[in-house]
Structure 1
Amino acid sequence: MNFFLVLLILAVVIIFLSIVVVNQGTVAVITVFGKYQRIMTPGLNFKIPFVEFIFKRISIQNRSVELEFQAITTDQANVNFKAMLVFAVLNQEEESIKNVAFKFMDEKSLMQALIRTIEGSIRSFVATKRQAEILSLRSEIVHHVKDQIDNLLETWGYHLIDLQLNDIAFDEAIMRSMAQVVASSNLKAAAENEGQALLITKTKSAEAEGNAIKISAEAEKTAAQLRGQGVALFREEVAKGMAESAKVMNEANLDASLILFSMWTEAVKHFAEQGKGNVIFLDGSTEGMEKTMKQLMAVQQLKDIGPKSK
């Protein structure tokens, strides 16, 4: 009876040791006396007790790690990077799982190699670029890293899913100088815009002023012409009136100088009435009047000679 009990207990232990449960998202690598044997997939599996052993359980889920490091540009500027790396096992094929299981001694060694490889790839790219170019090359840096390490990661059994450069920053002194450059560029652009606006304003103002002067000159020219025409017509009418008056006086056997005397007295009267308190000096002597009359008569004679010459 005791023998059967021992056999039963031994059978239960063997069955217990034979059952292997592999969780979803992982695979188990089985070895026989230290040599690779096979892979267990998720679910219920069985192994030979005391012969087959679980060497390692490998997660096939996506994994992420944060990176923080520094690189130097070709013009000796320090660039600080903060990045996030997303990677996973290449696939569930046997060769890929074997690489993941046996390429590295432990998880720490894998992560150290992976991180240093990513950092080295980014540093080699940044070393060929100038400080001013770096901020605009995020996507180019990511593509460069993927091109450089994809084949290497495949030999390890992994592949790079994504690399995000969350932050690219320069040293504080460089950031201040870059800010000053941007500020000075903005000030320069603002000054140029203000200068252009002032130039346009001045140009428009000068054009408006020139047009106003031109219009005023044209108006003054027209007014002067009209004034000249008015004076000429006035003089012509005065001459005609004097001629008619002189003709009538001659027909009546009267001295035509009476007309001049009448005009003289009318002029003096007009000056007195319209002077508005202004002082007007006239030569009121007989000689002055006679001199004025002679001048007027000379004008009349010139007027009379004109039609005769025609």
Structure 2
Amino acid sequence: MLVTAVIILFIIIIVLGTSFVTIRQGTVGVITVFGKYRRVLTPGLNFKIPFIENLYARISVQNRSVELEFQAVTIDQANVYFKAMLLYSVLDQQEETIKNVAFKFIDERNLMQALVRTIEGSIRAFVATKRQADVLILRREIVEHVKDQIDNVLETWGYHLQDLQLNDITFDEVVMKSMSQVVSSNNLKAAAENEGQALLITKTKAAEAEGNAIKIAAEAERQAAQLRGQGIALFREEVAKGMTVAAKEMQQANMDTSVIMFTMWTEAIKHFAENSEGNVIFLDGSSENMQKTMREMMSLEMLDRNNKK
């Protein structure tokens, strides 16, 4: 009886031990009955019929990542080397989705192989239609192309492509060197153009400044000349007034007014001698020339008087 009780207790413990299963958070369990899908177990402690229901698989619904390295060829026969990071996850936790994830592939290894090859093939097909010089600026277009091409396929497998990052795009060493030379020459060209533009701007500004300075100087000279002319005119007017007064006084005293002209002539000779840079003044001291000079000065005086009348 004791042995029988121990055996029965042992069987009960085994039955109870196989009747409950724990599913971790972030995963779901797939139950089969004699190899056929039965139901999905949610995270936590779950009951299953011992010896009848079997825990076929635990499926993670968390995000998963994988790194890719592969090669593609452009339309102009340039080799392009990609290093990428793929982020994917189970589409959702609906029963049909979980069934696809559990039974579409034999194991995880086969899933990864199909997923990687599908993405590589999509990128290769896209790159094959582009030129080598355009590939580097088409990262976003490549990613969008891959998502458009394989999202529907992945959904039939029960998965969703969260993100695809092209971390590195390189070419053969010869191509990289030629691209570097092109970039260097373009930079030199841009620098030369910028320098030329800067020099043009500098010279333009200098020319504008010089032109403005010339305008200012010309305006100042014009105003100065105008003021000098006004000064000379005022001087002549005052001289004429003084000569008129002196002539009237000399006429009243019965004196010859030509003395005034002679005095002005001698004052002019004195001014030339004091202010000129030369050392010698040549004068014609003959009486005929003196009389000629006096007549001319008197004629100028008469002309000035007539103009004033």
1:27 paired residue number: 29
Residue by residue, what CA displacement relative to the aligned partner does 1:177-199 show, whole Å, maximum 9, x if unpaired?
Answer: 44555555555455444444443
Could you tell me whether the CA contact under 8 Å between 1:77 and 1:170 is conserved in 2?
Answer: no
Of the structure 1 ranges 110-119 and 38-47, higher mean CA displacement relative to structure 2 is found in 38-47
The verdict on how the C-alpha distance between 1:81 and 1:290 changes in structure 2, with shifts beyond 3 A counting, is same
Of the structure 1 ranges 203-212 and 87-96, higher mean CA displacement relative to structure 2 is found in 87-96
Could you tell me whether the CA contact under 8 Å between 1:67 and 1:85 is conserved in 2?
Answer: yes
Deviation at 1:18, TM superposition (A): 4.9
Deviation at 1:221, TM superposition (A): 3.0
Aligned residue-pair number: 303
2:38 paired residue number: 38
Deviation at 1:223, TM superposition (A): 3.1
Of the structure 1 ranges 111-120 and 168-177, higher mean CA displacement relative to structure 2 is found in 168-177
Of the structure 1 ranges 265-274 and 79-88, higher mean CA displacement relative to structure 2 is found in 265-274
1:60 paired residue number: 60
Over aligned residue pairs, what C-alpha RMSD do you find?
A: 4.1
1:292 paired residue number: 293
The aligned runs of 1:5-16 (5 Å cut-off) are 8=8, 11=11, 15=15
Deviation at 1:116, TM superposition (A): 0.6
2:124 paired residue number: 123
Deviation at 1:291, TM superposition (A): 3.2
Could you tell me whether the CA contact under 8 Å between 1:73 and 1:126 is conserved in 2?
Answer: yes
1:155 paired residue number: 156
Deviation at 1:303, TM superposition (A): 4.7
TM-score, length basis structure 1: 0.73
SS of the residue corresponding to residue 129 of structure 1 reads coil
The aligned runs of 1:212-227 (5 Å cut-off) are 212-227=213-228
Could you tell me whether the CA contact under 8 Å between 2:147 and 2:161 is conserved in 1?
Answer: no
The verdict on how the C-alpha distance between 1:108 and 1:233 changes in structure 2, with shifts beyond 3 A counting, is closer
Structure 2 counterpart of 1:206, which letter? A
- Which whole-Å CA distance do the structure 2 matches of 1:264 and 1:169 have between them? 100
- Which whole-Å CA distance do the structure 2 matches of 1:258 and 1:18 have between them? 153
TM-score, length basis structure 2: 0.73
Structure 2 counterpart of 1:290, which letter? Q
1:144 paired residue number: 145
Of the structure 1 ranges 7-16 and 195-204, higher mean CA displacement relative to structure 2 is found in 7-16
Deviation at 1:124, TM superposition (A): 1.9
For structure 1, the 5+ residue unaligned runs are: none
- Which whole-Å CA distance do the structure 1 matches of 2:18 and 2:262 have between them? 157
Deviation at 1:145, TM superposition (A): 2.5
The verdict on how the C-alpha distance between 1:29 and 1:243 changes in structure 2, with shifts beyond 3 A counting, is closer
Structure 1 counterpart of 2:284, which letter? D
For structure 2, the 5+ residue unaligned runs are: none
- Which whole-Å CA distance do the structure 2 matches of 1:128 and 1:121 have between them? 12
The verdict on how the C-alpha distance between 1:113 and 1:292 changes in structure 2, with shifts beyond 3 A counting, is same
The verdict on how the C-alpha distance between 1:289 and 1:148 changes in structure 2, with shifts beyond 3 A counting, is same
Deviation at 1:117, TM superposition (A): 1.1
Residue by residue, what CA displacement relative to the aligned partner does 1:105-134 show, whole Å, maximum 9, x if unpaired?
Answer: 333222211211121122222333344544
The verdict on how the C-alpha distance between 1:162 and 1:296 changes in structure 2, with shifts beyond 3 A counting, is same
- Which whole-Å CA distance do the structure 2 matches of 1:210 and 1:147 have between them? 64
- Which whole-Å CA distance do the structure 1 matches of 2:260 and 2:54 have between them? 150
- Which whole-Å CA distance do the structure 1 matches of 2:113 and 2:226 have between them? 101
Deviation at 1:76, TM superposition (A): 3.5
SS of the residue corresponding to residue 160 of structure 1 reads strand
Deviation at 1:159, TM superposition (A): 0.8
- Which whole-Å CA distance do the structure 2 matches of 1:291 and 1:249 have between them? 22
SS of the residue corresponding to residue 279 of structure 1 reads coil
2:167 paired residue number: 167
Aligned-residue sequence identity (percent) comes to: 58
Of the structure 1 ranges 195-204 and 247-256, higher mean CA displacement relative to structure 2 is found in 247-256
The verdict on how the C-alpha distance between 1:101 and 1:303 changes in structure 2, with shifts beyond 3 A counting, is closer
1:86 paired residue number: 87
SS of the residue corresponding to residue 164 of structure 1 reads strand
SS of the residue corresponding to residue 83 of structure 1 reads strand
Deviation at 1:26, TM superposition (A): 4.3
